[in-house]
Amino acid sequence: MASSMKWPTFSASDTPLEVLVKLSRFYGSDPEFVLAGGGNTSVKVGDRLFVKGSGHALATIPPEGFVEMDRKQLEALLNSTLSEERLQREAEFKAATLAARIHPEKNQRPSVEALLHHLMPGQYVVHTHSTLVNMVTCCAKGPELAKQLAGDVVWIPEVDPGYILSRTLRQSLEDYRKTTGRDCPRAVLMQNHGLVICADTPEGIRSHTDWLVQTLRKQLAAVGNASSFGPVTTIDPAAARNLIQAIAPALRGLLATGENLKVVTFSDAPEVMELVGGADGKTVATIGPLTPDQIVYCKSFPLWIEPAADAAAPTLVEQLRQAIQEHTQKTGSAPHVILAKGLGMFAAGDDFAGADTVRLVYTDVIKVMAGARQLGGIRYMDDGMRKFIEDWEVESYRKTIGAAGRAAGRVAGKVAIVTGAAQGFGLEISQDLISQGATVVLTDVNAQGAQAAAARINAQLGKPRAIGLPINVADSASVAEAIYQVVRCFGGLDVLISNAGVLKAGSVKTMPEKDFDFVTTVNYKGYFVCVQRAAPILAMQHLARKEYFSDIIQINSKSGLAGSNRNGAYAGSKFGGIGLTQSFALELVEDGIKVNAICPGNFFDGPLWSDPQNGLFAQYLRSGKVPGAKTIADVKRFYEAKVPMNRGCTTADVVKAIYYLIEQKYETGQALPVTGGQVMLS
């Protein structure tokens, strides 16, 4: 069958609405048919129409996501005469459609194509933006190709959506009946828009869809697999890596309109490289949009850039700034898609979900352009239609609904990296940052643990707000690779939490040198390496947006403020960390980077202290650090008694300090104690 998804099980006891939900989720979950929550579905039950409501994605739509409509009122609307003036007609159509709702008190907004769904003869209607079908609907020879489908397809030329589309469809269906003697075509192809399938059963929807897809695949296969955009040339991989790490963070700053920087995700997928590396790529990409989805999510025109691999950072930023300004003046909006010749595609959004949607939709556009070119040439949207969609209230409403779901909180919109995040302090810090609106990269030498933790977080939230990456903070190459992957995914970062740390307690008289080296390498050198690799990315963002400041925060320790008996390796590494913090702060302030440290008291309940075999309580008991202690509980009581507040530090205590340092714009080079009064600055 056409879809790669598993066909749902339908039972005789399913209501028509339950059948529709299953059918909607099936096609809505297949990216070959639906991207970015697009498309709509419906079912007719007597004189009622249940049609998808705005703001719901087909992949997850519940029964209550469908709007119940009065078909008699929809029929009256279809037979009415509306204003010939475009904007007035749209206002009248919107009012009439809303008036046809059975339950206006629910304040649901039906799909703008509710009238089309009413008009289609089958009980079930599925409208999608199939990639393969749009290769035909966006092809200059689309009408000819449609005629080759044995009279089973109705072709609808490009017309205004809503009222005009429905009236045009009614006439086309009447012509189809006169020509074929049949009431229902297997498919309706809408020029530069998508596919509509109707049938009285879900199996009928499936049969018609599979027939069309298989037929079109044969047509596409018959024209061969030659390069769609001319001979391809690409940038040397090493130079490409450097360019990505310069351009992406610069774009984050240059495209920002508010306090937060944009999220910019990068793609060098094969289909993307075929376009950006193709000799005809620029011409093909910059003529105009192909579909309404492209306009809504990607804007009508991408920005095409041809960056020099050896350009200095200030020069590159100014070139990008000028290119964005010229593009904005010419097109009326800043670009969402930036195509770099021979390098790849940068997709920008207010958050990762938004940027990734831009990436997905424009990648689909590239596939459509490639197929349309092979089938006979691209048919771009009419310029008047393009401008109409750009200003269309319906699409503005759809974007408003999407924006309402964005994260909120004290660090909303920020991208944070947390090292040592697979468990303990690092994981809990990551979880709190996410609860306050950040997107977080959990990194750890335990790669599986970090990835599993990120997967759990995303599953709980039902959206991608975390990723897990491997990192060995003491290995420069490992840190560089992690930073590079963050840049590819998000364009850069706003906050680096250097949390990874180890502890081996022991007397200076007996501690093995390898243990001292291990603690020093991870705690001291690891902090240095992470800052060294992250700083150029943060600096590039500041170069692009001078008022923007980023944050590096080391999770240090009270042992960085006062010596620790029989714990010299750890205390020494933490004292050194404060020295690095102060030195980094002095140097990096010119790059818009604040560098601070937090010095927590003992995190007694975490694995560092409480692990029964290797935790500090167990280590201190074995080393005799606590006189007279017989059990781990004795050791814990001894250390709790040292704290004026009579308890250990918690993650909640630390994250409040993190938020303070991020929000405080006039603080850098500080070591902030969070010790319950155990260590006080003088």
Residues catalogued as catalytic = 570
Angle formed by the axes of helices 526-544 and 237-254, nearest 10°: 60
Burial class (CB in 10 A: 0-12, 13-18, 19+), 646: exposed
Give the pair of three-digit tokens for residue 70. Answer: 């009065």
Nearest Cα to Cα of residue 221 among 377, 375, 369:
375
**How far is it, in rounded angstroms, from Cα 373 to Cα 384?**
23
**How far is it, in rounded angstroms, from Cα 260 to Cα 279?**
36
Angle formed by the axes of helices 424-435 and 447-461, nearest 10°: 30
3-state secondary structure of 242: helix
- Identify how many contiguous H helices and E strands the chain contains and give both numbers: 26, 18
CB-based contacts of 640, cutoff 8 Å, min separation 6: 604, 646, 647, 648
Instruction: Return the sign of the alpha-carbon dihedral for residues 560, 564, 570, 572.
Output: positive
**How far is it, in rounded angstroms, from Cα 499 to Cα 429?**
9
**How far is it, in rounded angstroms, from Cα 682 to Cα 680?**
6
| Residue 294 DSSP symbol | I
**HEC string of 650-669?**
CHHHHHHHHHHHHHCCCCCC
Residues 341 and 347: beta-carbon distance below 8 Å: no
Amino acid letter, 658: I
User: Which strands form 40-45's sheet, in the order they lie side by side?
Assistant: 66-70, 48-52, 40-45, 124-128, 194-199, 187-190, 153-156
**How far is it, in rounded angstroms, from Cα 229 to Cα 226?**
9
Nearest Cα to Cα of residue 136 among 401, 374, 407:
374
Give the pair of three-digit tokens for residue 580. Answer: 């690095």
**How far is it, in rounded angstroms, from Cα 38 to Cα 364?**
13
**How far is it, in rounded angstroms, from Cα 462 to Cα 646?**
39
HSE (CB half, 13 Å, CA atoms) of 525? 13
Residues 595 and 588: beta-carbon distance below 8 Å: yes
Nearest Cα to Cα of residue 582 among 593, 567, 597:
597
CA angle 669, 671, 672 (to 5 degrees): 125
